Amino acid sequence: MKHLHRISIAIVLLVLTGCSTPPTKKIMAGADQVELRSYQSRGFDTADKTMMLRTVIATLQDLGFIVDQADEELGVVTGTKLAGYQVRMTVSVRAQGDRQLLVRSSAYFNLTPIEDAVPYQDFFTSLEKALFLTAHEAG
C-alpha cells in the first residue's frame, strides 16, 4: 500500500512537471537537433523550387491544411490544419547542390512540437504521391 502511495505521488509529480519546462527556457531550446532534422528532411531529385513549393501547397490542401503564408523567394510555406485538434506546420525548400532540393518540415500538434518520426514519414509519403518522384533520405 505504501509502495502504491509512493508510485502515485511520483506519477502526480510527473504529470505536473513532465510536460512543462519554464517558458523562457523553451525560447531557444529544441529537441535533439540532428536526429529530429533527419526525420523532418528529405532530398528530392529536382531543382524546380517553384514546382516543389506548389506541390507542397497542393499536398497541404490534400491533408486539410489552410496555407497561412507562402514565400517563393525564401522557399517557405506555413499551414494550419483544424480537425478537432490543431496542427501547424512550416515546410522549407532549399537548393542542395545544382540538381537537388532539400525539403524540411516541422510541425506542432496543438501546443506540442512533433518530435516523432512517423508523422513526418506520413507527410513525405503524401508529398511523394503528389510528386511522382522517388525521394531518398537526406544525408
Interface contacts to other proteins, rule CB under 8 A:
1, 4-5, 7-8, 11-12, 14-15, 18-19, 50, 53-54, 57-58, 61-72, 77, 80-87, 107, 109, 112, 114, 116, 119-120, 122-123, 125-126, 129
Least separation, in Å, of the C-beta of 96 and other proteins? Answer: 20
114 near 120, Cβ under 8 Å?
yes
Torsion angle of the four alpha carbons 103, 106, 107, 112, in this order, in degrees rounded to the nearest 10 = 160
- Residue closer to other proteins by CB (options 34, 111) is 111
DSSP 82: E
139 near 43, Cβ under 8 Å?
yes
35 near 137, Cβ under 8 Å?
no
- Residue closer to other proteins by CB (options 102, 130) is 130
Least separation, in Å, of the C-beta of 87 and other proteins? Answer: 5
Least separation, in Å, of the C-beta of 10 and other proteins? Answer: 9
Provide Rg for the chain, Cα atoms. 19
- Residue closer to other proteins by CB (options 112, 134) is 112
